Every structure is written in C-alpha cells, then in structure tokens.
Structure 1
Amino acid sequence: MSIDLTFAVPPFGLSPADSFRLTPVAGAEGLFTLVGADERLFVLDAAVHLPSYAPELTDEQAAGLSLTSPDEAMLLVVANPGASGTTVNLLAPIVVNARTSVGAQLILEDQDLPLRAELARR
C-alpha cells in the first residue's frame, strides 16, 4: 500500500517537489521507492534493515514534524546502489510522522554518522 507524503522542505536532490508517494517494492521487505514529480529515490526502513540505528533528533526537529512520541516516527534511510554494493546515508535520514504523513530529511547534529555506510547483506 502506497502512502502520500508531504515535505515542508523537499529531500535533497528532489527540489522543488513537496509531495511524494512512498511505495513498497514488491518482494523486498522494508525497501520503498520515494517518488516525486520527476525523481525517485530508494529508501530503506531502518527498523527492518538497521535495527541498531538509533539517531537522536533535536527537540526542534521533532517539533517540526509534530512528533509527540518516538513511536510516531518512521525512520527511512536513502539507499545508493552501486557496482560494488549498496551504501546508505545515516547522517541525513528521512523521518516521517506516521500519524500525519508529514516528512523531512533531517541532518543529524553532533552525531558521528557516515553519509555512505556500507549496507551489510543479510
């Protein structure tokens, strides 16, 4: 089932669109496409693929998404497939308020996380 999402600020590289569709990829648990007007990103549900990934949002970031508890946040990471493997951006996750379907790609402050972390095969 696809979800329509709204972003106050488009994810990096997807400007000027602010409306997107998040669609599961058939047969690939936790893998989605995020499609805007002319662009598409592959994103992974961090809860499925990176269960130990636990970034901390600032109070301002959480308030900007109207998050009232961590359970409301769906945490997605942008996946970049390449010839030698897939990397994921852990420094700038996409956070979606599951209650409101509002999302934002956030740059995490004061956290030593990579822009291109190798995704381990399962």
Structure 2
Amino acid sequence: MSPATLQLPADLLFTAPPPGLEPRVDFSLAAIENATGLFSITAADGAARLYVLDAAIHLPDYTPRLAAADLAGIGTDRTGATVLVVVNPGTRSTVNLAAPILVNSETGACAQVILEGSEWPLRAPLNPA
C-alpha cells in the first residue's frame, strides 16, 4: 500500500502506556483534514492528545532500525507496521525521531519505542514539505 493510500484503524491500543501518558493505553486516531499523513491521537478519556506524522510520507530519509521484539509485541513485522512520529507543534515545529510509535496497520496494536543510540534526535526540526 502506498503512503498516499495509507489506512489505519481508528482505535489504537498501546501495549504499554506511552511515556508521560500513564496509565492510558486506549486511544483513537483521526486524520487531520487537508493534511496528508498528519493525525491526532486522543486518549479514550479525552485527557490527552498528540499530533503524529506518518514518517513514510513526511520523513522519507527516516530509517530507524526497529527491533524484531518491538514489532512482534504489536503482532506484526516491518511490512505490516506503520511508523508514526510525535509532532511538537509551535512556531518551529519539531518531531521526536528518538521514540517513534509503531502501529500494526491491521489491528491497531501499537507501542512507542525508545531507539538505541543517539542517531535520531528527540527534537528534529520539521521542515515544510
């Protein structure tokens, strides 16, 4: 499936609470209108919301090494996983490349993982497309 036709489940279930959002694991995913590859993730209780980008669309050079155990934890392999990155909106928006969210594109099972090493920054500038 090409990134332009990406379809993700509307309901996401994290295998563990995302850092800073404990104890929440149930979230909904919604595409942002007129912004291809930009989504909001909202906690089921409405108390937390994040913006995320589909890395395949907006960051084609972002190629993190994903651990097989992390992919197995969401019930898929690299081909069935969508990599989302958290956006820190602002005058100079950044994205968190050090801790992507891996989503099983079929089931909505997901996990935010911390990548080993320092190759990918926590706050990478987001350059306009």
Say whether the fold is shared (TM-score over 0.5): yes
Task: Report the 3-state secondary structure (helix = DSSP H, G, I; strand = E; otherwise coil) of the residue aligned with 1:89.
Answer: strand
Structure 1: 5+ residue runs without aligned partners? none
Aligned residue number for residue 29 of structure 1? 36
What's the Cα RMSD here?
1.4
Task: Report the 3-state secondary structure (helix = DSSP H, G, I; strand = E; otherwise coil) of the residue aligned with 1:93.
Answer: strand
Aligned residue number for residue 81 of structure 1? 89
Counterpart AA for 2:11: D
Aligned residue number for residue 20 of structure 1? 27
Aligned residue number for residue 4 of structure 1? 11
How far residue 111 of structure 1 moved from its aligned partner, in angstroms, is 4.9
Runs of 4+ in 1 over 6 A off after TM superposition: none
Which stretch shows the higher mean deviation, 30-39 or 109-118? 109-118
How far residue 12 of structure 1 moved from its aligned partner, in angstroms, is 1.8
Aligned residue number for residue 4 of structure 2? none
Counterpart AA for 1:91: A
Report the Cα distance in structure 2 between the residues aligned to 1:15 and 1:104, rounded to whole angstroms. 13
Report matched runs for 1:1-122 at 5 Å. 3-36=10-43, 37=45, 38-68=47-77, 70-83=78-91, 85-122=92-129
Cα deviation per residue 1:61-91 (whole Å; 9 max; x = unaligned)?
12211223x22011100000123x1100000
Number of residue-to-residue matches in the alignment: 120
Contact 2:31 2:39 in 1 (8 A): yes
Structure 2: 5+ residue runs without aligned partners? 1-6
Task: Report the 3-state secondary structure (helix = DSSP H, G, I; strand = E; otherwise coil) of the residue aligned with 2:103.
Answer: strand
Report the Cα distance in structure 1 between the residues aligned to 2:34 and 2:106, rounded to whole angstroms. 26
What TM-score do you get using the length of structure 2 for normalisation?
0.87
